[in-house]
Amino acid sequence: MRVGKILKWSLLMLVGVYAAIYLFNRPFRAAPAVTDFEWISHRGVYQTYRTEDLDNDTCTATRIHPPTHALLENTLPSMAAAFDHGARMIELDIHRTLDGELAVFHDWTVDCRTEGQGETRNHTLAQLQALDVGYGYTADGGASFPFRGQGVGLLPSLRQVLRAFPEGRFMVNQKDRSAETTRLLAQVLTEEVASQRVCLNAIPELNGVFGELVDQACVMPGRVGIKRCLIDHLKTGWTGRLPPSCAGERLVLPDWTATRLVWGWPGTFIERVHASGGKVYIWSNDPERVPALRALGIDGILTDRIELMPTGGST
């Protein structure tokens, strides 16, 4: 009996300590609203697709939703539409080409979206731009291909993007993990005088290389860095301090209930990130969630559906 009571009181004490620490971090309190809210458009305005049962080899072009417009991801028209709908920044994907350019294209290979074959990086820019990037899209299992023949020449280089939108801001997702590609990116941004309007979204190691090469470099930690931050904060955030892996970072967090497990979520956590010089964004495609998300005090929303978001992205 005595052992049972000891265990019972020990458990109650642990629960009490946890509750005290949890309340010390002031959960459920919103952060002050930001004055410079940012909408980030993922790949521009494009053909979205069914996301169930995806893996690294899934060809998403063969599972698009019935088209409501003719825009294709990572192309200049899709980016122009995203900016028109209120995007402050556009996320795009780059690959280093055989001739030392940076092609803006999502997939690791060209087989899914185009009539070509092979890894994207094993082509020159001219070869990539000769492909039809609308070739592989279908919403009905291959009965029809509504964009076939319409995507020839639409694959841009990063230089073309920067010149087409001289005031546009971009989040660049480097598809490989090569420091050589990061150095080429830094070179292109320097030559195009665009380093202050482009962020690199990559693994922390590449962000470090980028930061050494570009003045006032804007870096984002990517999935690996965000996971590292959240795990570290789960371990030590109860102390009231932000771990170094979170400090100063631009964190894009998922819009799912597990976010509430973060110590001090939302307001205390967001204020700690702000105090460190960082920002907090949420990824969401649900227009109805926007008021509630903005009420948290986040800095912006990353979305696949900028064209559906309320107010067109205005603050």
CB atoms within 10 A of CB 68: 10
Task: Give domain status of residue 226, yes or no.
Answer: no
Average pLDDT, the chain: 90
pLDDT value at residue 186: 96
- Strand (E) or helix (H) holding 89: strand 89-96
273 within domain boundaries: no
Mean pLDDT, residues 248-257: 88
210 in any annotated domain: yes
Residue 23 lies in a domain: no
Q: How many domains does the chain have?
A: 1
Q: Does residue 98 sit within a domain?
A: yes
Name the more confident of 311 and 140. Answer: 140
- How far apart CA 203 and CA 312 sit, in angstroms, is 31
Residue 7 covered by a domain: no
Residue 246 has pLDDT above 90, yes or no: yes
Between CA 78 and CA 45 the distance in angstroms is 5
Dump pLDDT digits (tens) for 63-117.
Answer: 999 999 999 999 999 999 999 999 999 999 999 999 999 999 999 999 999 999 9
Residue type, 131: L
CATH code of the domain covering residue 85: 3.20.20.190
* DSSP sequence for 143-165: S--TTTTS-BT---BHHHHHHHS
Q: How large is the average pLDDT for residues 171-195?
A: 96
Q: Residue 100: inside a domain, yes or no?
A: yes
- Please tell me the distance from the alpha carbon of residue 210 to that of residue 215, in angstroms, as a whole number: 9
Domain that holds residue 172: 59-216
Query: Measured between alpha carbons, how far is 274 from 296 in angstroms, rounded to an integer?
Result: 13
Which of 163 and 263 is assigned the larger pLDDT?
A: 163
Q: What average pLDDT score do residues 274-299 get?
A: 95
| Mean pLDDT calculated for residue range 228-247 | 93
pTM: 0.90
Can you tell me the mean pLDDT for 181-185? Answer: 97
Query: Is pLDDT of 313 > 50?
Result: no
- Is the residue at 305 inside a domain? no
Residue 151 banded pLDDT, cuts 50, 70, 90 = very high
Compare 19 and 185 and report the one with higher pLDDT.
Answer: 185
